Amino acid sequence: MRRAPSLLISAGAAAALMLLLGGCGGGNHGGGFTAAPVQPTAPTPDPAPQPEPAPAASFQLGGAVDHPARLDVAALSARPAVPQSVAYSSGSGAQTRSYVGVDLWSLLVDAGLQADPARKNDLLSRYVLATGADGYKVVFALGELNPDFGRKGSTVAYADTASGTAVPLSAADGPFRVTAPGDVKGGRYVSNLVRLDVAASAATAVGSGGGISSGFAVSGAVVGAPVQFDLAALQKLAPTTQVVGTDTYVGVSLWTLLNNTLGLSVPPGSKNASLAMYAVATGSDGYRATVSLGEIDPGFGNKPALVAYELNGAPLGARGVARLVVPGDLKASRSVSNLVAIEVFAAPSAP
């Protein structure tokens, strides 16, 4: 016996058939029915794109270094941690802080400090400019930071330990802050650090071929520059005395000479603008050394650098009419004999 063929219809055909049947039978009586309309399925929307994670906070280390880098907390945490407690005064009163950070000098050295091999101790004529997120700038002479000379001990702090536990710096200070331990006021603490840039000084003075100098010129960012000084002119100024080891020097305070006697030409419109300035001393042989103005300002670094004209009760002799003396340095290489020039500069902003 032959089977009846099976009837196969698609789902779409079935729906159409139901609609056709629903139209038969004369309304709602006599066995007719009405089919529910078929609702189209709404497409599933694509998932909303996820925001990119915020980049880790960091600062740029660059300028005259072989290995410029952008450094974040992870990079700093991989270096030896330096705990540091500091005290200074501010506009709101006495401040004390306890930080964890990295040694600034070591950070610069590991970046590969560049120097002119033809110039003796060329690093002592260079500086690093620290810049905050608001454009605030501070100069540190490399000789000030170098543990063989100024031994400043500045760090780049990334954690606060005042509570006994290391926590990130506050929004007002961090995530990175350059410290200036030993300073009287806190103006050289650069909060919200965004850049560290190493630079050669802008000095242009050249030596006179060596020999005993008879005077020196002060030029650059001072009022009435250039101004010449010989022994008689120096002796008319208020003298000061500094004992360095077994030697006693008499001369003129470098800060007093630049800021009070002559007057600094400070860039307008910048907070603590003199802290972004520096002075370069040049000897008759072309030897140079840099001090930052913040380093010698009595309100900040308070280092009593001296333009000396007398040693142990006698003229300087072979050291010339004047010698820059930087008391407190471990080595005396920032002391410049046979002084022929002092040039004062405001450090330009990093490019």
The reported pLDDT for the residue numbered 14 is 41
Q: How many CA atoms lie within 13 A of 259 on its CB side?
A: 16
The reported pLDDT for the residue numbered 315 is 97
Judging by beta carbons within 10 Å of its beta carbon (0-12, 13-18, 19+), is residue 79 exposed, middle or buried? middle
- What is the average pLDDT score of the chain? 89
> Phi and psi dihedrals of 300, rounded to 5?
-130, -100
Q: Give the amino acid at 187.
A: G
What is the mean predicted confidence (pLDDT) over 249-254?
A: 98
* Full set of structural domains in the chain with CATH: 58-200 (3.90.420.10), 216-346 (3.90.420.10)
Per residue in 124-178, pLDDT (tens digit) is: 999 999 999 999 999 999 999 999 999 999 999 999 998 899 999 999 999 999 9
The reported pLDDT for the residue numbered 351 is 82
The reported pLDDT for the residue numbered 8 is 38
The reported pLDDT for the residue numbered 40 is 64
The reported pLDDT for the residue numbered 1 is 39
Provide the whole-model pTM.
Answer: 0.85
Per residue in 259-316, pLDDT (tens digit) is: 999 999 998 888 999 999 999 999 999 999 999 999 999 999 999 999 999 999 999 9
pLDDT at 12 over 80: no
The residue ranking higher by pLDDT, 42 or 251, is: 251
What does the alpha-carbon distance between residue 324 and residue 106 come to, in Å, rounded to a whole number?
27
Q: Give the amino acid at 302.
A: N
pLDDT at 77 over 60: yes
Q: Are 231 and 340 in contact (CB under 8 A)?
A: no
The reported pLDDT for the residue numbered 269 is 85
With the C-alpha atoms ordered 230, 232, 234, 240, is the resulting torsion angle positive or negative?
Answer: positive
- Give residue 16's pLDDT band: very low, low, confident or very high (50, 70, 90): very low
Closest CA to 348 of 124, 177, 134, 197: 197
What does the alpha-carbon distance between residue 283 and residue 279 come to, in Å, rounded to a whole number?
13
What tokens does 215 get? 């005077």
Residue 43: CB partners within 8 Å, gap ≥ 6? none
- Residue identified by tokens 């400019």 is 129
